[in-house]
Structure 1
Amino acid sequence: MTDDLDHSLSPVLRQGLETLQGLLGPEWEVSVQPEQALPLPGPDMGYDAVLRILSHNDSRFTELLVNVREHLTPKEVAGYLSATSLLVRRISPNSQLVVFAPWISAKTQEELRQREIGYLDLTGNISLRVSRPAIVIHTEGAVRAPAAARPTSTKPLLTGPRAGRLVRLLADVRPPYRATELAKHAGLSLPYVSRLLDALEDQLLIRRDKRLVTSVDWQNLLRNRANHLDLMRQTTPQGMLAPNGVQAVLDRLVEREGFIAGNDVLVTGSYAARPVAPVAVGGQLMLYVMPHSEHVRAVRKALGLIPVPEAADVQLLQATDLSIFQRPRSYDRYRQVGLSQLVLDCLSGPGRMPAEGEMVLQTMDRDERLWRLPDLSHVPEVNLRTDLSELF
């Protein structure tokens, strides 16, 4: 690269070239060609620069078409970039499209690899395969977007209780359905649901035919939601000791039939995962309770638990939203959280819980009919807008 040309490059392209040159080493030369080597029809050529990689050993070189993006979604890869890549190969079979960006999400990386489009982000996520001269590069960088690379968007993220309600509903009920139906059954406003569905469609976590949701990638939807959670930080856990052992606590849950209405104390975590994924062993007994000090004390007394600062074998987790208690399941006469909630709790939990969550996901994927509701008629319309603190 000449100094004049280098100053004209965008920061993302310039840093990407420096990264690539550093990986290849001094026996290779990475440069940007000033000419447009492959004119594509229309005002948008589909690329921003022609990148030449030259081997000093045998003088062989390849030219890559670089598409520079500040942000990139899986939907854009499946649509615009996929079409551009196919067009490039039709015009020049030996040419390849490569994306440079500040950061590229794991889902977007997967979509790029499936379409044999190379990529490089400034955190170190790189995938590049060239046959002549032979170049194979695959490195992993940041899993989450650095603050500087996060898009400014009015679309909501998968954070907070409201997003949790919609995520669970999408996972628990088979489509098709519309935003208006989802809003009624989740107790959310229609504008919020519409914006969140737009964001999920950008990530290819749902697919729509016009405004009708036709499919849901519920496994990755739950994984993405869990990435925004920290079970032990968000539920204000209180460590307890069970003097007579954990099994005695479970027996008391059965005797008291879950206390009020059969579901205001729910088992989650490793003990709930064990019946679904038998590989789960040991771990603390985790119980969801209502987030009120008097209720926590009542549960603690009824179950014979003693508060301890450390070495607890029972954790009382304070629910952050009433939706956590929705669609529970029964096992051995006591109540557990629904499978979708269990996955969220395990994937965002400590220790080996994330591995247990993945095992539960595998079990769920084997037969959706065993747990996923056929349509929204099986879910009552609810109003969960009341803050939990207002219930006491």
Structure 2
Amino acid sequence: MESPLIREAHLLEQGIQALSGLLGPEWQVTQRPNNSKVFDALLEVRAEGDSTFTQLLVEATQAVSPRFVMERLVPQVQLLREVNHYSTLLVIAPWISSQARDLLRQNGIAYLDLTGNVGIRVSRPAIIIHTVGAEKAPRSARRESSRTTLAGPKAGRLVRLLADVPPPHRATDLHRTSTLSLPYVSRLLDTLEDQLLIHRKGRLITDVDWVQLLRARAQETNLLSPGSYRGALAPNGVSALLQQIPQLSTEHVGGLSAIDGLSVTGSYAAQRFVQVAVGGQLVLYVAPWLDVDDLADDLGLLPVADGADVLLLNEPDSFVRRGAEFVDGVQYVAPSQAVIDCLAGPGRMPAEGEALLEFMERWPEKWRAPKNDAWTRPVQH
């Protein structure tokens, strides 16, 4: 197993090679002796035949979280500007998230990751490089950056609670309501704090950046992952199908009915609040106590491989129905769940998700839940 110093040296070597490749053969990237105990390397960059050069002070690190940017890199670059106006701080990492990249740009810090996300701007000699690489962390980078991520149904529960219920929160309350283990909740909260998605005073969560939290969750979600859904065609159209759903059997088996187990998400859930476009595919979560084939027969749906106007999704977790609302006998997921699903969906759905987010920012009182019994009661499976 490689030591941290060996991994850092390997990362630095790969980063220098990537920078040289981006600049091309007419430029020279030379590593100079580094007397600094703060930075990992000193690079001199110049065009061939030009006496003008710039210095890049390099921070090579395996993970760049937003918190790392604000608490370590920003103070470094502020000090650097006080003593040397001609050097630029360059961060090299295996992968850098979009939120961290935004913070680096805002603070004039250059960055380069090994997936192709690069942002370098130097005035003299003039160097401007901006390329886009991976938006999601490669598996190797995930192992380095965080043991607990926003992927998976368990993370979805915590995200929904933090978004839908205004702070303050305590980890113990989130653990009780979500029925997730307290150690898992604590680890995920540490990750969210590292990404500046929550802020804590002691053990109390005092602020939640729920807009970025929902976006971050969507980046770790694939609404239509292989094997998670079936496509179908509604012979009489989606509008007629929505009128059929309330006519399904209301017979309860173990306290659960067909109507309770179907919930609308995606475009039609977003269109309750915003109108980006009309229609679209009807996306329905199907609870595990429902048989998808029997449900399709009851609704008169025709299975199709292409051109589906109805998508039947296996419900990944009962929490997707948390805060759902019945309208004209049809259950619609809460806005926060609809945002995640739209942003993680295909076609025009991400645009609908962004429009719904804008609505939610403007009118939080129309969707955020008070801390009442319905939201603080532990989830039922």
Common topology (TM > 0.5): yes
Aligned residue number for residue 238 of structure 1? 230
Specify the SS of the correspondent of 1:315.
strand
Change (3 A) 1:236 1:90: same
Specify the SS of the correspondent of 2:143.
coil
Aligned residue number for residue 21 of structure 1? 20
For 1:286 and 1:103, how far apart are their aligned partners in 2? Answer: 33
Specify the SS of the correspondent of 1:175.
coil
Q: 1:279 aligns with which of 261, 276, 281?
A: 276
Change (3 A) 1:354 1:154: closer
Q: 2:263 aligns with which of 243, 262, 266?
A: 266
Aligned residue number for residue 254 of structure 2? none
For 1:297 and 1:149, how far apart are their aligned partners in 2? Answer: 40
For 2:177 and 2:57, how far apart are their aligned partners in 1? Answer: 47
Aligned residue number for residue 174 of structure 1? 166
Specify the SS of the correspondent of 2:104.
helix
Change (3 A) 1:95 1:53: same
Aligned residue number for residue 325 of structure 1? 321
Contact 1:173–1:376 (8 Å) recurs in 2:
no
For 2:115 and 2:236, how far apart are their aligned partners in 1? Answer: 51
Letter matched to residue 89 of structure 2: L
| Structure 2, unpaired ranges of 5+ | 1-5, 252-256
Change (3 A) 1:235 1:257: farther
Which of 46-55 and 256-265 deviates more? Answer: 256-265
Contact 1:257–1:334 (8 Å) recurs in 2:
no
Tell me the TM-score normalized by structure 1: 0.85
Deviation at 1:332, TM superposition (A): 4.8
Contact 1:205–1:217 (8 Å) recurs in 2:
yes
| Structure 1, unpaired ranges of 5+ | 1-6, 40-44, 387-392
Which of 116-125 and 219-228 deviates more? Answer: 219-228
Which of 272-281 and 64-73 deviates more? Answer: 272-281
Tell me the TM-score normalized by structure 2: 0.88
Deviation at 1:235, TM superposition (A): 7.2
Contact 1:235–1:319 (8 Å) recurs in 2:
no
For 2:150 and 2:137, how far apart are their aligned partners in 1? Answer: 14
For 2:115 and 2:233, how far apart are their aligned partners in 1? Answer: 44
Q: 1:350 aligns with which of 336, 346, 349?
A: 346
Specify the SS of the correspondent of 2:225.
helix
Deviation at 1:46, TM superposition (A): 2.2
Specify the SS of the correspondent of 2:376.
coil
For 1:311 and 1:141, how far apart are their aligned partners in 2? Answer: 31
Which of 152-161 and 323-332 deviates more? Answer: 152-161
Deviations 1:10-65 (A, max 9, x none): 222222222222322343321111142xx5xxxxx321111111233441112121
Deviation at 1:282, TM superposition (A): 2.7
Specify the SS of the correspondent of 2:243.
helix
Aligned residue number for residue 195 of structure 1? 187
Aligned residue number for residue 250 of structure 1? 242
Change (3 A) 1:352 1:76: same
Specify the SS of the correspondent of 2:91.
strand
